[in-house]
Structure 1
């Protein structure tokens, strides 16, 4: 699997369509009432196999609930927009891409392709990932699509279109990328906490290098104007995010594909290839330089906590011998010694005061020769994640160490909320100011957790750890 598609909420159910299969790709469907437990419903938008004409693979797109039946498919119909990628006998990255509609009147149980597709024909490629949204100010629809490469009379960037019925669309403007290839766009209006204002956010995936950006600014119904841009996640494995449409209270709820196209097809075979991040929320808070982004795991994730493994306060973290890194000996006398903090599926929330330590951090999925290492470099105010000795596949090459600038909180501490899973580590730092998402492929036996400090002594002000699995 790869990109999340057609994310929409209806009558207590979260719908998640997604890109499935190696090639040609299709839309599969899953639903959940709690964002934790998901029920698979199989393929809903299949590919058209090549015959006398090129086949068509349904690439990424978004969905809405058409409450007022503007499209004529039925009241409260689930209407999806997707890209039709035309291909021959094999994958053709340069194939023509047009925009299409599918709909469901039974909550996604059956999905029908609109018989008059494409609603936006095309004779060029690199034009994809439509995401419609209801624009309340005008009482009609808008849609964002990325033009990855410039075309005749159209620059590259996020295009904005308008429609009254989700079928007939009029081009309005392009938020230009300056030549950088973008894809999988979102356009969301979010309140700015602590004010009576709101701001618009364009979130998209930049293809070189692979990353996601949030561009914050103004949207007047025709044009988007950015005031600032920030990186959404500083790990290697966070891409193609999409927001759920129609959520109560405009939660800013979204999810991303946890992988990277630069190596996605070569990752180890664990019985799957591709997975989603945990659902997270994005919010805006008032800052000195305009709205600032905060990201948090969806509140529902507290429900997957099983046994509380430990809770510690006011513990010293003393320097450790460098030769003990990635060994079980490293934790023999540390603050977690004698606790039950160990496992493959964990949530760890820790507040650490670096004090006079140069570096302080946390090792997870630790074994005799392995560890996934989260380090805070106090001198350089930098958060790092090192997976060069985290198991197979990753090494000291280009994708071994991820980093992010991170200033301490006003009291000098750093706060980490870490989700450890069988093949991933997701970090939310300093109350959601920075996030970092990375795959790891450790040995099954690598389950240890330890704290460390180098160059001085740090204080563990508080730590609480939970097991997230009922399995042994």
Structure 2
């Protein structure tokens, strides 16, 4: 990883995560690897740092860590706002937007039509295309290309499917307030035929948004592909507010069939913890994956914020960062398929990851112990705990004498938690100061954590990425201590490797 330095005037600007220079962002859109670069498009207000004037911003990176912001890619106008969507490389020019020399990139996005439009009040799907690698875009003159007459039809994710019936484009979108995923097919990206629908199922505590559908080998077996359907919802997450869930099953080119559905129809609040969540933290929303990622990796990025307080977080002049990119895989755990998520670094970017601090073993007993020589505000911490008699144990990051963010384990309850009630600034919204938790079980008698700390966030990858938690924090620039703690008994840190970037 590499890190830029936050200035005094911009204390919370992330060093390892993407944020705009001076505007608002939310959902990642149009993620694609093209021309040797990762392209990140996103919901953007180019005129302010709160939600509004929805357009597509644009940034590129060679390594998923160092990002360059570009001018607005697809702008709103008097007719429409540009809501979420996706981009494909139309390498065979099925759309006809390309030339003999240049295959187009084609963006499919949701047009949220304004009063000046003949489609006012409708959300429908539209196209734009680029012939210069994704930097300038032309809206299709025949937009919208798919209109259901719905006010809540949005967020198309398009991919190329090849099966027994041939090869064609598939679109996955949502009827948001019906808790329904709708699937369409097309030969040319302009004329669409309904395939099937999925849902309601599992979590329906808020509108469904930003779906994705992709295949992954189960347990690394290339001949055992399973399909993963992700659906974000707001509100209704496991720790309140925005979140993302997933289903695992089969897709035959027409219908997605889930093998992991817990409840169909309306959500059962008593079974919320049984649903499969992309992330158990408060600040991981609208996650979608890249098209054409190198080495067939499935890479995902999410918006690192929560609609409960998104417009109020204390950052300026920018507002809202993106999560780190994650590589996702599928593993059998206790007889069921589970997503595993790990930090997705480009191989060329990790050559300088030698730890700046190591600790081979330490027993902690009814204490909070500051680790001398380990302070910092941007860090990657890898550690393994072996439980003893303690009721809870863990570490505290971005701390000082009175503040800090606690990442802890309650072994008797089988819970991992992040406590940000004393993390720094938290009074900007009544729901921000929280203690959020996720289920966790020991593996081989131990708990293994990777914690990525940035100027305004903590991302926790537990047990090799089987459980993740993502949380915004807003600590003082002087809160840089790292501590280990145990309450009500003992715990042992059997290894700790820490890399400090600033």
Same fold (TM over 0.5): yes
Classify 1:270/1:449 alpha carbon distance in 2 versus 1 (closer, same or farther; 3 Å): farther
User: Post-superposition shift, 1:194?
Assistant: 4.3
Which stretch shows the higher mean deviation, 257-266 or 390-399?
Answer: 390-399
1:292-303 alignment to 2 at 5 Å? 292-300=338-346, 303=350
Classify 1:304/1:139 alpha carbon distance in 2 versus 1 (closer, same or farther; 3 Å): same
User: Post-superposition shift, 1:8?
Assistant: 0.8
In structure 2, how many angstroms separate the alpha carbons of the residues matched to 1:372 and 1:88? 46
Runs of 4+ in 1 over 6 A off after TM superposition: none
Corresponding residue of 2:257: 225
1:183 lines up with 2:233 in the alignment:
no
In structure 1, how many angstroms separate the alpha carbons of the residues matched to 2:189 and 2:351? 38
Classify 1:306/1:284 alpha carbon distance in 2 versus 1 (closer, same or farther; 3 Å): closer
Q: Mind listing any 5+ residue stretches in structure 1 that lack a counterpart?
A: 50-54, 151-155, 321-329
Instruction: Please tell me whether the aligned partners of residues 306 and 467 of structure 1 are also in contact (alpha carbons under 8 angstroms).
Output: no
Which stretch shows the higher mean deviation, 183-192 or 294-303?
Answer: 294-303
Corresponding residue of 2:436: 402
1:380 lines up with 2:413 in the alignment:
yes
Q: Give the counterpart of 1:267 among 294, 300, 313.
A: 313
Q: Give the counterpart of 1:309 among 356, 373, 383.
A: 356
Instruction: Please tell me whether the aligned partners of residues 307 and 467 of structure 1 are also in contact (alpha carbons under 8 angstroms).
Output: no
Corresponding residue of 2:43: 19
In structure 2, how many angstroms separate the alpha carbons of the residues matched to 1:248 and 1:391? 39
User: Post-superposition shift, 1:393?
Assistant: 2.1
Query: SS of the counterpart of 2:29?
Result: strand
In structure 2, how many angstroms separate the alpha carbons of the residues matched to 1:162 and 1:425? 39
In structure 1, how many angstroms separate the alpha carbons of the residues matched to 2:195 and 2:208? 18
What per-residue deviation string (whole Å, max 9, x for no partner) do you get for residues 46-80 of structure 1? Answer: 0012xxxxx31000001111111110112531111
User: Post-superposition shift, 1:398?
Assistant: 6.9
In structure 2, how many angstroms separate the alpha carbons of the residues matched to 1:311 and 1:398? 33
TM-score (norm 1): 0.89
In structure 2, how many angstroms separate the alpha carbons of the residues matched to 1:34 and 1:270? 26
Query: SS of the counterpart of 1:249?
Result: helix
Corresponding residue of 1:164: 187
In structure 2, how many angstroms separate the alpha carbons of the residues matched to 1:331 and 1:288? 36
TM-score (norm 2): 0.84
When the two structures are aligned, how many residues end up with a matched partner?
440
Classify 1:304/1:455 alpha carbon distance in 2 versus 1 (closer, same or farther; 3 Å): farther
User: Post-superposition shift, 1:32?
Assistant: 1.1
User: Post-superposition shift, 1:172?
Assistant: 1.0
User: Post-superposition shift, 1:246?
Assistant: 1.0
In structure 2, how many angstroms separate the alpha carbons of the residues matched to 1:250 and 1:307? 27
User: Post-superposition shift, 1:308?
Assistant: 3.1
Corresponding residue of 1:466: 499
1:82 lines up with 2:82 in the alignment:
no
User: Post-superposition shift, 1:274?
Assistant: 0.8
Classify 1:272/1:304 alpha carbon distance in 2 versus 1 (closer, same or farther; 3 Å): farther
Q: Mind listing any 5+ residue stretches in structure 2 that lack a counterpart?
A: 1-24, 46-50, 237-241, 261-274
1:93-242 alignment to 2 at 5 Å? 95-137=121-163, 138-150=166-178, 156-178=179-201, 181-195=207-221, 196-209=223-236, 210-228=242-260, 230-242=276-288
1:31 lines up with 2:78 in the alignment:
no
Instruction: Please tell me whether the aligned partners of residues 190 and 250 of structure 1 are also in contact (alpha carbons under 8 angstroms).
Output: no
Q: Give the counterpart of 1:245 among 271, 280, 291.
A: 291
Instruction: Please tell me whether the aligned partners of residues 2 and 257 of structure 1 are also in contact (alpha carbons under 8 angstroms).
Output: yes
User: Post-superposition shift, 1:190?
Assistant: 0.9
1:318 lines up with 2:347 in the alignment:
no
What per-residue deviation string (whole Å, max 9, x for no partner) do you get for residues 327-382 of structure 1? Answer: xxx435xxx2x3x2111100000011012222110000002221100010011110
In structure 1, how many angstroms separate the alpha carbons of the residues matched to 2:259 and 2:323? 28
Query: SS of the counterpart of 1:292?
Result: strand
Q: Could you say which structure has the greater relative contact order, defined with CA pairs below 8 angstroms and 6 or more residues apart? A: 2
User: Post-superposition shift, 1:262?
Assistant: 1.1
Query: SS of the counterpart of 2:489?
Result: coil
Query: SS of the counterpart of 1:218?
Result: strand
Instruction: Please tell me whether the aligned partners of residues 388 and 396 of structure 1 are also in contact (alpha carbons under 8 angstroms).
Output: no
In structure 1, how many angstroms separate the alpha carbons of the residues matched to 2:343 and 2:315? 27
In structure 1, how many angstroms separate the alpha carbons of the residues matched to 2:65 and 2:257? 36
In structure 1, how many angstroms separate the alpha carbons of the residues matched to 2:430 and 2:489? 27
In structure 2, how many angstroms separate the alpha carbons of the residues matched to 1:467 and 1:290? 37
1:438 lines up with 2:471 in the alignment:
yes
User: Post-superposition shift, 1:224?
Assistant: 0.6
Classify 1:343/1:182 alpha carbon distance in 2 versus 1 (closer, same or farther; 3 Å): same
User: Post-superposition shift, 1:88?
Assistant: 4.0
Query: SS of the counterpart of 2:448?
Result: strand
Corresponding residue of 2:269: none
Query: SS of the counterpart of 2:157?
Result: strand
User: Post-superposition shift, 1:286?
Assistant: 2.9
Classify 1:29/1:468 alpha carbon distance in 2 versus 1 (closer, same or farther; 3 Å): same
Corresponding residue of 2:303: 257
Which stretch shows the higher mean deviation, 437-446 or 304-313?
Answer: 304-313
Query: SS of the counterpart of 2:398?
Result: strand
Instruction: Please tell me whether the aligned partners of residues 372 and 390 of structure 1 are also in contact (alpha carbons under 8 angstroms).
Output: yes
Instruction: Please tell me whether the aligned partners of residues 305 and 467 of structure 1 are also in contact (alpha carbons under 8 angstroms).
Output: no
What per-residue deviation string (whole Å, max 9, x for no partner) do you get for residues 182-209 of structure 1? Answer: 1100011111124330100011102231
Instruction: Please tell me whether the aligned partners of residues 305 and 468 of structure 1 are also in contact (alpha carbons under 8 angstroms).
Output: no
1:301-380 alignment to 2 at 5 Å? 303=350, 308-320=355-367, 330-332=368-370, 336=371, 338=372, 340-380=373-413
Classify 1:288/1:369 alpha carbon distance in 2 versus 1 (closer, same or farther; 3 Å): closer
